[in-house]
Structure 1
Amino acid sequence: MYVINLRYTGALAEIDDALDAHRVFLERQFAAGIFIAAGPKVPRDGGIILASAIDRDRLDAILAEDPFAQQNLAHYDVIEFKATRLAPGLNLPMPSEA
């Protein structure tokens, strides 16, 4: 599992201009079962994405497709961890064997 910390490097006006494309990117990854949570930080200087069921190299390739990355609007810090406990009723996708 990964925590991806986005830190905006562009002006908020540039972020806002790319936001619709970024949201389409996020939706594709949610539909694929890769991203499991995402949202802006408070204050709005970046965002957080939680990802699961993926190896690091593939995650890095996916993040490179983000319009924020392609337009040099954000820096990504990726932190990997093993989720050893989950809240009752919370089910996470399992990594694929492929």
Structure 2
Amino acid sequence: MSVLELTYTAPLDAVDAVLEEHVAWLDEQYAQGVFLASGRKNPRDGGVIIAVAEDRARIEEISARDPFVTAGVCAYRVVEFTATKTAPELERYRERLG
């Protein structure tokens, strides 16, 4: 499982100019089962996405196609972690150590 932290690298008007495309891209990732949750940071200087994929390379490949990235308005930081404890609703994503 991964936490993706987006940090805006451009003014909000530039971010908002590609927001519709970004939301469509998010919808595609939800439909494919990659994204579990997402939203804006507060204050609005970026966002956070919780994602699942085979490996970090896949997450990096997906995030590189984000319209925010291709438009040059945000940068990503990917934090991988092993989800050894989850809420019941996320049990199917629970991982075992070792």
TM over 0.5: yes
Deviation at 1:55, TM superposition (A): 1.2
Distance 1:65 1:59 in 2: 10
Deviation at 1:88, TM superposition (A): 3.0
The number of residue pairs the alignment matches comes to: 95
Name the Cα RMSD after superposition: 1.6
Gaps of 5+ in 2: none
TM-score norm. by structure 1 comes to: 0.90
- Indicate the structure with greater helix content: 2
Distance 2:74 2:43 in 1: 15
* 1:87–1:21 distance in 2 versus 1, CA, 3 Å: same
Q: CA offsets per residue over residues 32-77 of structure 1, 9 Å max, x none?
A: 0000000000000000000013311111111111000001110100
2:18 — aligned with what?
A: 18
Pairing 1:7–2:11 present: no
* 1:26–1:89 distance in 2 versus 1, CA, 3 Å: closer
Residue type matched to 1:22 in 2?
H
Q: Is the 1:33–1:93 contact (alpha carbons within 8 Å) kept by the matching residues of 2? A: no
Q: CA offsets per residue over residues 8-51 of structure 1, 9 Å max, x none?
A: 00110001110000000000000000000000000000000000
Distance 2:53 2:63 in 1: 15
Deviation at 1:87, TM superposition (A): 1.7
Q: Is the 1:52–1:92 contact (alpha carbons within 8 Å) kept by the matching residues of 2? A: no
Distance 1:44 1:79 in 2: 20
Pairing 1:85–2:85 present: yes
